[in-house]
Amino acid sequence: MSTRRHRKPSLAPSATALALSIAIGMSTLPWSSIVRAGTEAEPVAQTSQITRQTLHKSVEIDGVKVFYREAGSTDAPTILLLHGFPTSSHMFRNLIPALSDRFHLVAPDYPGFGNSDQPALEDFEYSFDNLASLMDAFVDRLGIERYSLYLMDYGAPIGFRLAAKHPERVASLIVQNGNAYIEGLREFWDPIRTYWKDPTAENAKPLAKFISPEGVEWQYTHGVRNPEVISPDNWKADLNHLTRAGNPEIQLALFYDYQNNVPHYPAWQAYFREHQPPTLIVWGKNDDIFPAEGAHPYRRDLVNLDFHLLDTGHFALEEDGQAIAAHIRRFLGRQVASKRGRKHEG
């Protein structure tokens, strides 16, 4: 299926609604260490230092260059890391080396984000259906047949589409501030709901703050215990793509299309109940965008659930990345040990 679809004229955002000041900058500062004590049932033998290095690669999917980060042995269990808004695979820059001794990690940038291409609106449909189709093709191109999904923010509706379409491919879910329940869309979403109902230039104006320098910084620092822990490299890296010519219109198109995720919630919840993927919840409970009210409903539908609310904000990896990495190592270690046990019994 082609991912290069034409956008519907009725969804065209105002070209002047989201004008921004340009701020450019990027750097990556990896964690100096990660706590590995107490990790249960490590899944594979430790890989070499060379294999653990993060590689920065790209692949063309239907004429669109998709950038991705990759590390770890391809013989190890794969984790597909799907980023949120307004960031890119940059949000995983520290998590990847913290896990690459035991896992194969792949983190793509969506079109219009990070280092991937930014096709024009008239050439590419910026919708969650289309981004999921492109990610599906991306996984096929890399030859990845089974994976765990790390889902954050925008990564959740993209990843849940993949899981519902290919449940046999999904080994487990790692959900970090990724919504699948109506309870998780609270007051923060009111101006976006207004735009859903009436997508005028006037109703688009309040949404400009979400991609302004101050608004992007707020998404990283709101709800954290210590703002000094959060590097400004984060929002500067995001602003590098948010301030490209035409990108504000792309973000507005995705704001508008987010409403089309909500009707999928019942189907995704049915997927949880029917297939019962082992699931790890690591959720920043002080997040206003996807608050903890959206985390608790997963308990209704999932039996094999490892549930953790963290005392931090939207981008939980920035303040509690070491804790999240440790949770992932224990959680996936148990899944692999359980699978080995079943094989032995058989």
Please give the helix or strand (H or E) that residue 324 lies within, else none.
Answer: helix 316-345
What gap in Å lies between CA 139 and CA 151, rounded to an integer?
15
How far, in Å, CA of 72 to CA of 54, rounded? 8
Asked if residues 112 and 247 have their Cβ atoms less than 8 Å apart, the reply is yes
Gap between the Cα atoms of 129 and 14, Å rounded: 22
Q: H-helix or E-strand containing 281?
A: strand 279-284
Backbone angles phi, psi at 63, to 5 degrees: 85, 0
Q: Contact at 8 Å (CB) between 145 and 169?
A: yes
Catalytic residue among 83, 104, 241, 314: 314
CA dist 207 and 210 (Å) reads 6
Amino acid symbol at 57: K
**For the sheet containing 147-151, what is the strand order?**
55-61, 64-71, 104-108, 78-82, 147-151, 170-175, 279-284, 305-310
B/e letters for 297-329, b = 16+ CB within 10 Å, e = fewer, are bbeebbeebbebebebbbbbbbbbbbbbbbbbb
CA 327 to each of CA 34, 54, 56, 92: distance values in angstroms, whole numbers, following the listed order: 11, 21, 26, 15
The CB-side HSE value for 307 (13 A sphere, CA atoms) comes to 14
Q: How far is CA 168 from CA 147, 165, 171, 276, 290, in A?
A: 10, 9, 8, 11, 28
- 344 is an active site residue: no
Q: What is the DSSP letter of 57?
A: E
C-alpha 31/C-alpha 95 separation (Å) is 8
Residue positions annotated with a catalytic role: 314
